[in-house]
Amino acid sequence: MRTGRVERKTNETQIAVAVDLDGTGRAEISTGVGFFDHMLDQIARHGLIDISLTARGDTHIDDHHTAEDTGIALGQAIRQAMGDRRGITRYADVHLAMDEALTRVALDISGRPFLVFRTSFPTQKIGTFDTELVEEFFRAFAFHAGLTLHIETLYGGNSHHIAESCFKGVARALKAALAIDPRQAGTIPSTKGSLEG
């Protein structure tokens, strides 16, 4: 069972998350930030990762701490669920179209966290959600999951579509990279013999 469970409590947020990497995409998500819930649902549905996540944050200030700390906790839960990464495909890339927007995602479950985020938004907000928090979430997520993650939107004109193409693209790439390769089941896909960084 590739499952993980994390609880994170600070003066700014309280987050509980459980994941199953071999799920069916079931999502039970409540962060108090509607648009963010919608984006996290994309990770579950299109990554075929069961995610149960509740977050309570200081959203009376803004959504920053909730988005960043959710990225930390979700990343930690996925890292825990991966274990030693034995048998995984490891690398994946995808081009994800969302109406007029096209985003390219490439990732390596390397244990060496890094984020390249080449995406811009034509608006500062999607509803009440600050678009700059998309990058903040993915940085926290990549660093705590141990991913080398590249996200680049090639073009797009609608901020909602651009953001959604990023989240769906990451989900699809995660699904492929986390898949067990039957030809190397039982081995760690690295010449070093470890994917712990």
Q: How much is the pLDDT for 44?
A: 98
Q: What is the pLDDT of residues 7-48, one digit of tens each?
A: 999 999 999 999 999 999 999 999 999 999 999 999 999 999
What the block records as the tokens of 138 is 């993915």
Q: Which of 157, 146, 84, 150 is CA-nearest to residue 120? A: 157
Q: How far apart are CA 103 and CA 119, in angstroms?
A: 8
| Full-model pTM | 0.94
- The pLDDT tens digits of the residues spanning 120-157 come to 999 999 999 999 999 999 999 999 999 999 999 999 99
Q: How confident is the model at residue 61 (pLDDT cuts 50, 70, 90)?
A: confident
Q: What is the band of 183 on the pLDDT scale with cuts at 50, 70, 90?
A: confident
Q: Are strands 101-108 and 3-9 parallel, antiparallel or unpaired?
A: unpaired
Q: Answer whether CATH 3.30.230.40 is correct for domain 3-178.
A: yes
Dist. CA 185–CA 137, nearest whole Å? 31
Specify burial of residue 124 (Cβ count, 10 A radius: 0-12, 13-18, 19+).
exposed
* C-alpha distances out from residue 120 to 17, 29, 104, 123, 193, Å: 29, 26, 13, 9, 38
- Residue 127, pLDDT score: 93
